[in-house]
Amino acid sequence: MKIAVIGTGGVGGYFGAKLAQADNEVTFIARGAHLEAIRENGLLVKSVYGDMHITNVNATDKITDINKADLVLVAVKAWQIKEIREEINHILHSNSIVLPLQNGVLAADELAEVIPAKHIMGGLCRIFSLIEAPGVVNHVGFKPEIVFGERNGSLSTRMGKLTQLFEHAGVAHKASRDIEADVWKKFIFICTSALLAVTKTTYGELRELNETRQMMIALLNEIYAVSQKKGVNIKPNFIDKTIEVIDSVAYDSTSSLTRDVWEGKPSEIDYQNGTVVKLAEQYGVDVPVNRFICNCILPMELKARGKFGG
């Protein structure tokens, strides 16, 4: 299969390498020193499940260099979707699949504002990974998994094709009949990332201290309440299961949003807790913890984007 990986960070780098290793024709989109290192030395993926070194990599910084991809894995930050969707539209043929793997719940809708909806599936991934150095991606936790499904809940032929693709590549996967619910389940979990950023804690530290643990539980319950007002199919015991997962992750684990805030980089706050606040206003739900976190991060976010002060 001819595959375009848009964004060769922790997500795109790992899954793209797995697909390339399985003899698919993969083109990676990267930038700057990361791109140069990949061109010179290949893409090295370190993983707790075994390292991969992909040599002779097809890599570019221009999406339009790609000629008609069968599958487009969209692995950029959520806030970058609007910047690249026009270019993605130009590399599609009539049967191309566009699979967004962003955090948040808006990616598929934002892509569909420009790209014909027939191309877009719902998707998400579960992985703890990051760029360790130019040309090097490090997978540090969670068994990597991709979840995908038709946005109308149907079973389709192309879902079967993706199942075969991921099976052949050794990628854990799930073909979902309710991708909206699956996306929201991940969304609820990852919105704890901003609480880590504000409290300057790891997951272990956050859950260990009773005061921050209670904030975490309140945050999760607020988002669940919003999901129910929106009509998302999530059972009431999901929050307890989410807390169990948080209690099981490595003590020193953080997240990409957490690290971005700490490092003064633009983050996905508007697509995570910011989305919770906006939807809560729309559906009349009170979300004081999520609102407090957004307000705390807002000055840092504006500084990171050069929009604060003189």
- Same domain membership, residue 141 and residue 193: no
Query: Is position 257 within any domain?
Result: yes
Q: Are residues 172 and 201 in the same domain?
A: no
Do 239 and 143 lie in one domain? The reply is no
- Per the model's pLDDT, the better-predicted residue between 53 and 253 turns out to be 53
Q: What is the pLDDT of residues 77-115, one digit of tens each?
A: 999 999 999 999 999 999 999 999 999 999 999 999 999
One domain for residues 222 and 295? yes
Provide the pLDDT for residue 136.
97
What pLDDT is stored for residue 215 in this prediction?
Answer: 97
Confidence of residue 310 (pLDDT cuts 50, 70, 90): low
- Assigned domain for 276 exists: yes
Task: Decide if 85 is inside a domain.
Answer: yes
203 and 169 together in one domain? no
**Structural domain of 42:** 2-177
Same-domain status, 221 and 167? no
The answer to whether position 297 is within a domain reads yes
Do 167 and 209 fall into the same domain?
A: no
- Read off the CATH number of the domain in which 139 is found: 3.40.50.720
Strand locations in 23-150 (E): 25-29, 43-47, 52-54, 58-60, 69-74, 92-100, 122-133, 136-149
Same domain, 299 and 152: no
Distances, alpha carbon 182 to alpha carbons 141, 236, 260, in Å = 20, 14, 25
Pairing of strands 52-54, 43-47: antiparallel
Q: In terms of domains, do 21 and 45 share one?
A: yes
Domain annotation covers residue 219 = yes
Shared domain for 255 and 137, answered yes or no, is no
CA distances (Å), 81 to each of 18, 106, 218, 267, in order?
A: 23, 10, 30, 13
> Domains in the chain: how many in total?
2
CATH code at 264?
Answer: 1.10.1040.10
Output the pLDDT for position 48.
Answer: 87
Break the chain down into helix, strand, coil percent, rounded to 5. Answer: 50, 20, 30
159 shares a domain with 32: yes
* Distance of alpha carbon 254 from alpha carbon 67, whole angstroms: 37
